[in-house]
Amino acid sequence: MAARILVIEDNADNLELMTYLLKAFGHTVFEARDGAEGLNAVKRELPDLVLCDLQMPKVDGYEVAKAVRRDPVLAKLPLVAVTAYAMRGDRDRVLAAGFDGYISKPIVPEEFVGQVERFLEANQPSPAQPAPAAEERHQGPAACRATIVVVDNCLANLDLIRSTLEPFGYRVITAETVREGLEIARESLPDLILSDLHMRDADGYAFLKIVKADPGLREIPFAIISSTVWRETDPSLALSMGADRFILRPIEPGEFLAQIEACVGPTKKSSRST
């Protein structure tokens, strides 16, 4: 079930990652970058759940929890701490402050949404038939939808792509260099190669050129993804060299999934098998 979730976090990178993952699973996300802003947002939006960092300037997570629990309208709102300070005794302190529990940092992208949804499920009335666990819902189809080799020298980008695609049935194999990506592609013969444009050992264009010159790989769909372009002609150049897509970050998870599906859909697969 999609939920409305408020994330209160002063670290921009953590906020971006949590928001991205939650949106990828269909949740509506509201953002606040400090405790004071978070208290205003929770009263304004009345979310289904609040994720709150503990260590914030001015108004910290403990003060947020105290204010929420004192408000009769918000008192039963699920409130989850997200903290890097999960030491012995911290759990008791977090619960005593009014939180329903906590998620430790650094978050694990493959597990994060399931952890959040367990708090949502705990707040729901018991159904006549038990709902499937979060992990079961996220497994997607039993059969692999498609195999995708993703090449990017940024581990955070690899984690985000994997976390977005795997729950929808895609098998994702990652590589950090073009050389490694070529080896994996030749071994696995994937349904799609997705490459970052800017990398240390070679750029996405060089990778695309090698793939299209290889008789064993040239029919595999190839997409380039990038946060920036070197020239205004970059997307056109990529397509003229044989790329199926040029994807620009930032991109909403739903749109990203649609771009991937367009590359590995039935038409692409059938054309390769004939």
Per-residue pLDDT tens digits for 107-122: 888 889 989 999 988 8
Residues 48 and 78: beta-carbon distance below 8 Å? yes
Report the relative pairing of strands 101-104 and 49-53 from DSSP bridges: unpaired
Q: Could you tell me how far CA 43 lies from the centroid of its own chain?
A: 27
Q: Which of 214, 158, 222, 152 is nearest to 186 (CA)?
A: 214
Token output for 221: 């769909």
> Is residue 259 classed as helix, strand or coil in its secondary structure?
helix
Residue linked to tokens 């595999």? 220
Mean predicted lDDT score pLDDT of the chain: 85
Percent of the chain with pLDDT over 70: 85
Which tens digit of pLDDT belongs to each residue from 122-163?
876 544 444 444 444 444 334 578 999 999 988 888 888 988
Q: Does domain 140-273 have CATH number 1.10.357.10?
A: no
Residues 247 and 259: beta-carbon distance below 8 Å? yes
Which tens digit of pLDDT belongs to each residue from 51-108?
999 989 889 999 999 999 999 999 999 999 998 765 556 677 888 899 999 898 888 8
pTM for the whole structure: 0.53
Which tens digit of pLDDT belongs to each residue from 193-245?
999 998 877 889 999 999 999 999 999 999 999 876 556 678 899 999 999 99
Residues 80 and 49: beta-carbon distance below 8 Å? yes
Query: Residue 182: pLDDT above 80?
Result: yes
Q: Could you tell me how far CA 94 lies from the centroid of its own chain?
A: 26
User: Which whole-number Å values give the CA distances from 119 to 36, 106, 138, 198, in the listed order?
Assistant: 24, 19, 16, 39
Residues 52 and 101: beta-carbon distance below 8 Å? no
H or E element at residue 81: strand 79-83
* CATH 3.40.50.2300 intervals, the chain: 4-134, 140-273
Looking at domain 4-134, its CATH class is alpha beta
